[in-house]
């Protein structure tokens, strides 16, 4: 069985989605069909690989929508074609489809009919205009009502509208019937237009990738080819000012690349040989030659957008509740309308026909029974929030995750690569040699360490390069059983090792010991360098180095910001030593530290936090010794690197991966991926979740309030049929526009 996914353009109504789903599911070659009104996605499980999509296109077209089977670059669908004047763009949208064109004509006829009623003309002309408006504008509505009854076997909004319009015609309210038809159809079109614009913000990211690339041929000449024709291992040239067309590795050239579309970083990132670049980013000043590492369909931007689209289809708990409520709400109101139409005339001798009759009041209630505003209130907000986060380089995998983020009580961090930069650097270089004029410690150390792949060795070599020291050749280099390294440089035996090794083998002054102990107390790794004294040929300690994985500069500010949000507590869970962990905690301001942990111990601590059984960490940050909640269940977010911390990420209520742009492991492991490894996005995420929850709550309350008010007015005989339509359409548009604010 094969799965295929298409886009239904302009889909926003749950009734339309239900009709399409039921019809497509009955096709012979379709095993199962799902249509999501929130994302506009139509997914079919088919029994044959050569599936013919034509019947699906016809079914979708019958509902007044268009099935998009293939997205064409730089040729967005009309609804997403943004004009500088919204009215012009919406008018273009109305005239792009048959059903909406009929609505436009019906609107013109209704306007002419209203004008005719104000002129000294026979009523024949106004009634004719209204009748034609009802026929033309009501044709799509009637067709959809038939589909609701015949295919879905449900009482949808189109069926309710047909009943309401027929009732208005029955009592001679021609103008009322025409206005209702036009307003309803216009409102449906406007909802679809606004919803599609909300979705279009994410899909428009695909246009950041140029459709062609300059492939470098064997003779060095470039040829422009479609990016889909590139294969892994091909070389492409990226000129200054060009958008990068592929995911790849820089082979030659130096430049800076603006990665804002992928990672959200505001400043361009320097790129040179060996560095990764990503499709959709912008090369600024230098020519780069890049080796392709991913096919066009699998580049980081495509994978990122696919994950967000999948996330949009995962309903938040509140959204599932609203959908269930709407299924009960509509038939309940319809039943109530039947009672309103029948009980007063039958038992209390009240008028049935006429403008003030109970039939008209019941018809108004049928219009109010439309659940569109209620159903769309949540998904449009969630889609907008997920799109906003993606534009900032943050992937949130679903509305449920977005909802949970706003309830987080404690955020637990891994240390290495999360609160710290993830790679050791040389922080201190001290010359302690007693021989006058000796200042070769770093140069000697770099000479022997250049033949080692250890991270600490690389830190010393990098520091030597930074100080523009010449890298001397070293001979007879050997490892000291994991405690250090030794070799011959310029005829001198050089040893690079730990302080304990030198304590045991090479006499040195108290000054060396004091400096080594001071640096170790700061949570740094201490390295000593010794070489033979030129005069006495006895070993001498000439330099003391300190190497550390530096905390991210923004970490203290981020931790402080998080503590202002819902009194969030912070914890560090690390496998590193207590001394190093405590030093990082002192700098960052983390509340509680758990050090020396194995991966399974991290999982256990996260579980204890969730169950409210957390005890004090084996080290408590002195700044925050007094408190933190205990013995209360917590909603826990864990922030890690997405690979080594996979068990803890899975255990936490929300797993946040410092994925780095394009990290496939991080994308698959966590609930949230920070594409730019930027912890500053954490406070943004919490605030976005809180804003989304507030917006969804406000939308639901507003939609129910509007319907309740109009319901009361209808029951009292004060409302009119067109007022009910305006209230319903207005409520739908209001919640859509309010939800779209989350894109900002």
In the prediction, which pLDDT does 464 show?
92
Cβ-count burial 363-376 (b if 16+ within 10 Å, e if not)? bbbbbbbbbbbbbb
Average pLDDT estimate for 297-307? 79
In the prediction, which pLDDT does 222 show?
92
Supply the range of the domain harboring residue 459: 421-551
- Contact call for residues 686 and 436 (beta carbons, < 8 A): no
Domain boundary among the residues 21, 44, 70 is at 70
- Contact call for residues 399 and 319 (beta carbons, < 8 A): yes
Average pLDDT estimate for 526-554? 81
The answer as to whether 286 is a domain residue is: yes
The answer as to whether 182 is a domain residue is: no
- C-alpha span between 699 and 740 (Å, rounded): 12
Q: What is the pLDDT of residues 624-658, one digit of tens each?
A: 333 344 557 889 999 987 556 778 888 899 999 88
Give yes or no: 414 in active site: yes
Q: What are the tokens at 131?
A: 């009748």
Q: What is the pLDDT of residues 4-37, one digit of tens each?
A: 888 888 777 777 888 899 889 989 889 999 888 7
Give Dmax (Cα) for the chain: 125
- C-alpha span between 452 and 472 (Å, rounded): 14
CATH of the domain at 51: 3.30.70.100
Active site residue: 414, 561, 591, 728, which one?
414
Domain boundary among the residues 528, 551, 574 is at 551
Domain boundary among the residues 70, 93, 124 is at 70
Is the pLDDT at 92 greater than 70? The verdict is: yes
The answer as to whether 140 is a domain residue is: no
The answer as to whether 344 is a domain residue is: no
- Contact call for residues 247 and 278 (beta carbons, < 8 A): yes
Structurally, the chain folds into a number of domains equal to 3
Q: What are the tokens at 389?
A: 């986060």
Q: How far is CA 301 from the centre of its chain?
A: 12
The answer as to whether 634 is a domain residue is: no
- C-alpha span between 34 and 14 (Å, rounded): 12
- C-alpha span between 588 and 124 (Å, rounded): 81
Is the pLDDT at 68 greater than 60? The verdict is: yes
In the prediction, which pLDDT does 316 show?
63
CATH of the domain at 233: 2.70.150.10
CATH of the domain at 472: 3.40.1110.10
CA distances from 630 to 568, 586, 636, 637 (A): 13, 22, 13, 17
The answer as to whether 262 is a domain residue is: yes
The answer as to whether 742 is a domain residue is: no
Average pLDDT estimate for 662-666? 56
**174-203 vs 721-740: helix crossing angle, rounded to 10:** 10
Q: How many helices and strands (H and E) does the chain possess?
A: 25, 27
The answer as to whether 285 is a domain residue is: yes
Q: What is the pLDDT of residues 145-183, one digit of tens each?
A: 888 888 777 777 788 788 878 888 887 888 888 888 888
In the prediction, which pLDDT does 663 show?
55
Task: Give the phi and the psi of residue 96 in degrees, each rounded to 5.
Answer: -90, -10
């Amino acid at each position: 069985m094969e799965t295929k996914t298409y886009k239904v353009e302009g889909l926003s109504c749950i009734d339309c989605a239900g009709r399409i789903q039921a019809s497509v599911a009955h096709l012979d070659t379709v095993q199962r069909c799902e249509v999501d009104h929130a994302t506009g996605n139509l997914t079919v499980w088919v029994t044959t690989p050569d599936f013919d999509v034509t019947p699906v296109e016809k079914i979708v077209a019958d509902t007044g929508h268009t099935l998009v089977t293939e997205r064409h670059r730089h040729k967005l669908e009309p609804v997403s074609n943004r004009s500088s004047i919204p009215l012009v763009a919406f008018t273009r949208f109305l005239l792009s489809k048959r059903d909406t064109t009929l609505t436009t004509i019906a609107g013109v006829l209704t306007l002419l009919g209203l004008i005719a009623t104000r002129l000294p003309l026979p009523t024949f002309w106004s009634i004719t205009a209204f009748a034609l408006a009802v026929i033309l504008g009501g044709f799509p509505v009637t067709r959809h009502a038939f589909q609701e009854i015949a295919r879905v076997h449900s009482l949808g909004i189109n069926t309710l509208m047909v009943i309401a319009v027929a009732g208005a015609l029955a009592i001679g309210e021609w103008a009322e019937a025409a206005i209702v038809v036009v307003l309803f159809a216009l409102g449906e079109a406007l909802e679809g237009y606004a919803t599609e614009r909300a979705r279009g913000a994410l899909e428009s990211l695909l246009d950041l990738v140029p459709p062609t690339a300059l492939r470098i041929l064997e003779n060095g000449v470039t040829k422009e080819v479609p990016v889909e024709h590139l294969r892994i291992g091909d070389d492409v040239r990226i000129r200054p000012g060009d958008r990068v067309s592929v995911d790849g590795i820089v082979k030659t050239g130096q430049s800076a690349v603006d990665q804002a579309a992928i990672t959200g970083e505001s400043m361009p990132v320097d790129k040179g040989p060996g560095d990764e670049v990503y499709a959709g980013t912008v090369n600024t000043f230098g020519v780069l030659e890049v080796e392709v590492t991913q096919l066009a369909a699998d580049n980081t931007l495509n994978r990122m957008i696919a994950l967000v689209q999948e996330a949009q289809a995962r309903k938040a708990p509140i959204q599932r509740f609203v959908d269930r409520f709407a299924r009960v709400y509509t038939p309940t109101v319809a039943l109530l309308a039947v009672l309103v139409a029948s009980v007063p005339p039958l038992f209390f001798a009240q008028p049935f026909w006429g403008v003030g009759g109970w039939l008209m009041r019941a018809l108004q209630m049928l219009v109010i029974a439309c659940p569109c505003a209620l159903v769309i209130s949540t998904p449009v907000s969630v889609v907008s929030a997920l799109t906003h986060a993606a534009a900032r380089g943050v992937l949130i995998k679903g509305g449920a995750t977005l909802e949970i983020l706003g309830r987080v009580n404690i955020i637990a961090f891994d240390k290495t690569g999360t609160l710290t930069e993830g790679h050791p650097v040389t922080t201190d270089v001290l010359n302690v040699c007693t021989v006058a004029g000796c200042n070769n410690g770093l140069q000697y150390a770099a000479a022997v360490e250049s033949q080692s792949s250890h991270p600490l060795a690389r830190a010393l070599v990098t520091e030597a390069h930074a100080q523009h020291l010449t890298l001397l050749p070293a001979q007879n280099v050997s490892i000291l059983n994991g405690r250090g390294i030794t070799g011959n440089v310029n005829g001198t035996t050089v040893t690079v090792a730990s302080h304990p090794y030198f304590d045991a083998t090479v006499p040195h002054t108290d000054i060396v010991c004091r400096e080594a102990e001071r640096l170790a107390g700061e949570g740094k790794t201490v390295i000593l360098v010794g070489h033979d004294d030129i005069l006495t040929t006895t070993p001498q300690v000439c330099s003391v180095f300190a190497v550390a994985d530096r905390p991210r500069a923004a970490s203290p500010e981020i931790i402080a910001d998080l503590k202002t949000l819902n009194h969030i507590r912070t914890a560090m869970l690390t496998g590193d030593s207590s001394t190093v962990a405590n030093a990082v905690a002192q700098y960052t301001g983390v509340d509680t530290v758990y050090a020396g942990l194995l991966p399974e111990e991290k999982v256990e601590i996260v579980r204890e936090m969730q169950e409210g059984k957390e005890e004090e960490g084996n080290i408590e940050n002195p700044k925050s010794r007094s408190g933190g909640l205990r013995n209360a269940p917590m909603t826990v977010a864990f922030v890690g690197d997405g690979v080594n911390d996979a068990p803890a990420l899975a255990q936490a209520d929300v797993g946040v991966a410092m994925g780095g742009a394009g990290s496939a492991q991080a994308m698959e492991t966590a609930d949230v991926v920070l594409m730019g490894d930027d912890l500053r996005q954490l406070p943004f995420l919490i605030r976005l979740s809180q804003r989304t929850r507030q917006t969804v709550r406000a939308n639901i309350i507003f939609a129910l309030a509007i319907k309740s008010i109009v319901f009361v007015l209808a029951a009292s005989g004060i409302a009119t049929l067109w007022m009910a339509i305006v209230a319903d359409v207005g409520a739908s548009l209001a919640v859509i526009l309010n939800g779209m604010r989350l894109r900002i």
